Amino acid sequence: MSRTMSRVLAFAWIGLAASTALGRADTLKIAYVDPLSGGGASVGQVGLEHFQYIADQVNAKGGVLGMKVEILGYDDKTNPQEALVQVQKAIDAGARIIAQGNGSSVGAAIEDFVAKYDDRNPGKEVVYINYAAVDPSLTNAKCSYWHFRWDANSDIKMEALTNYIKTRPSIKKVYLINQDYSFGQSVRTEARKMLAQKRPDIQIVGDELHPLLKITDFSPYIAKIKASGADSVISGNWGQDIALLLKAAADAGLQADWYTYYAGGAGGPTAIRQANLPDRVFAIVEGYPNIDYAPAREAEKEFRTKLNGQSLWYPRVFNMMSMVFRAIEEAKSADPVKFAPKLEGMKVTTFDGGEGFMRAADHQFFQDMFVVTFGPLGADQPFDEEHTGWGTKLAGKVPADQTVLPTTCKMQRPG
């Protein structure tokens, strides 16, 4: 073999090795599996924008461990079966981090799928990072080592809401309306249980379950709420189910207070404004645009400028992504086997300025929670929602340590 020839071969070999190494290491693929069509799309699409925004930000600063972050969007149509097909597609495309949020039914399916996949494919483990599926069972009965959750679970939210309800003696008759699936059912049971403990005098005048994301006209339900004489409604509805519920209430002129999980989602603020319910619709959140914390306000402003006025709905996505990136950097590896242990017990300053931590026992993140209302903007409330002129205002803060509920999780750790 001539010297030139061997040199060429040597270069070719180095080039090949380098390119495969690059192919493996130059991108960090994060699959986003959520509804991008159908009734959940209004929130799923905005969620994707959050991820994309964060990826752009990180990439502008050089990425994570020198890797470019790439977000792959997959439409699960809020359907567990469809979601599993999409997760498999994502894994085939090289993603080892699966992010999902909307729909606890979907979340449960993914959690289960990922646990089994990791069992059967050692060396190719994937991790499921959950930013919004809040069914408590995901970190209790069904808990898995490969699942981490950044949103407060449904019980924590109900705990905070009912603590607030406890301080409002004007509430006498409560109506529960929820989506008929695992999450909605857990909201209703927990609401009944906690109200019975904290305010036994409150009468529950209605307890409704309706099909998930299928109803376009809630007037019949509103008629029922009205006939029940309820002064307050508690609902865990999300996506179009909360927006249309509020819209129907606005049309019928229902005058009631609303204690919700997700009234701030797409269409919610518009309906609240139309119903003219100033400071009577409450939502439980981990952060809100008008929070009195400068860095969060700065971020909100920048986010809105870049995304045509879209408000920053999910501070938790920022918490989640920064923690995952930090874990990867600490582990010096994007392999879930290596960085997942770094997430356990991780303590951070959250997007909204509080202290937060990832409990190792069940992989549930704990953070300050806020009860906010929507109403006309006052002094020091720079941001409105959906161009209504109405924005978020703090009604009550629940410090992180008061949200720590016990878990029944018996975590099976690998190895």
Partner 1 sequence: MLELIIVSTLNGVLYGMLLFLMASGLTLIFSMMGVLNFAHASFYMLGAFFGYQLSRALGFWPALLIAPVLVGALGALVERYGLRTVHRHGHVAELLFTFGLAFVVEEVVQMLWGRLPVDYRVPPSLDFTAFTIFSTNYPAYKLFELLTAIAIFAVLLLVLTRTRAGLIIQAALTHPDMVAMLGHNVPRVFMLAFGVGTGLAAVAGVIAGPALVTQSNMAGLLGPILFVVVVVGGLGSLAGAFVASLLIGLVQTFAVAMNVSIGDLLALFGTHLAPDAFFAEITQVTVAQIAPIVPYLLLVLILIFRPRGLFGTRET
For tokens 């924008």, the residue is 49
Q: How far is CA 6 from CA 16, 71, 227, in A?
A: 15, 41, 88
Which residue among 121, 227, 401, 410 contacts partner 1 (CB under 8 A)?
227
Q: Which is nearer to partner 1, 69 or 256 (CB)?
A: 256
Q: Which is nearer to partner 1, 209 or 395 (CB)?
A: 209
Within its chain, how far is the Cα of 327 from the centroid? Answer: 20
**CB 271 → partner 1: shortest distance, Å?**
12
Helices (H), 276-335: 294-306, 315-331
**CB 233 → partner 1: shortest distance, Å?**
15
**N residues, the chain:** 415
Q: Which is nearer to partner 1, 266 or 299 (CB)?
A: 266
How many C-beta atoms lie closer than 10 Å to residue 60's C-beta? 8
Q: Which part of the chain contacts partner 1 (CB under 8 A), choosing from 97-105, 210-218, 230-238, 359-367?
A: 210-218
For residue 145, give every residue at least 6 positions away whose Cβ sits within 8 Å of its Cβ, in sequence order, or none: 115, 340, 363, 411, 412, 413, 414
**CB 338 → partner 1: shortest distance, Å?**
37
Distance CA 304, CA 186 (A): 34
Q: Which part of the chain contacts partner 1 (CB under 8 A), choosing from 61-69, 197-205, 248-256, 360-368?
A: 248-256
30 is written with which tokens?
A: 């994060």
389 contacts partner 1 (rule: CB under 8 A): no
Closest to 272 measured CA to CA, from 298, 247, 240, 301: 247
Which residue among 166, 173, 224, 304 contacts partner 1 (CB under 8 A)?
224
Which residue among 219, 333, 381, 388 contacts partner 1 (CB under 8 A)?
219
**CB 80 → partner 1: shortest distance, Å?**
18
Which residue among 23, 62, 169, 220 contacts partner 1 (CB under 8 A)?
220
For tokens 């205002």, the residue is 393
Q: Which is nearer to partner 1, 2 or 216 (CB)?
A: 216
Element (H, E) at 192: helix 182-198
Q: Which part of the chain contacts partner 1 (CB under 8 A), choosing from 26-34, 124-132, 204-212, 407-415?
A: 204-212
Residue ranges in 263-302 that form contacts with partner 1 under rule CB under 8 A: 266-267
Element (H, E) at 197: helix 182-198
Residue ranges in 32-91 that form contacts with partner 1 under rule CB under 8 A: 36-39, 41-42, 45
The letter for the amino acid at 86 is Q
For residue 170, give every residue at least 6 positions away whose Cβ sits within 8 Å of its Cβ, in sequence order, or none: 231
Distance CA 121, CA 285 (A): 37
**CB 218 → partner 1: shortest distance, Å?**
9
Residue ranges in 163-202 that form contacts with partner 1 under rule CB under 8 A: 180
The footprint of partner 1 (CB under 8 A) covers 36-39, 41-42, 45, 180, 208-211, 214-217, 219-221, 223-224, 226-227, 240, 244, 251-254, 266-267
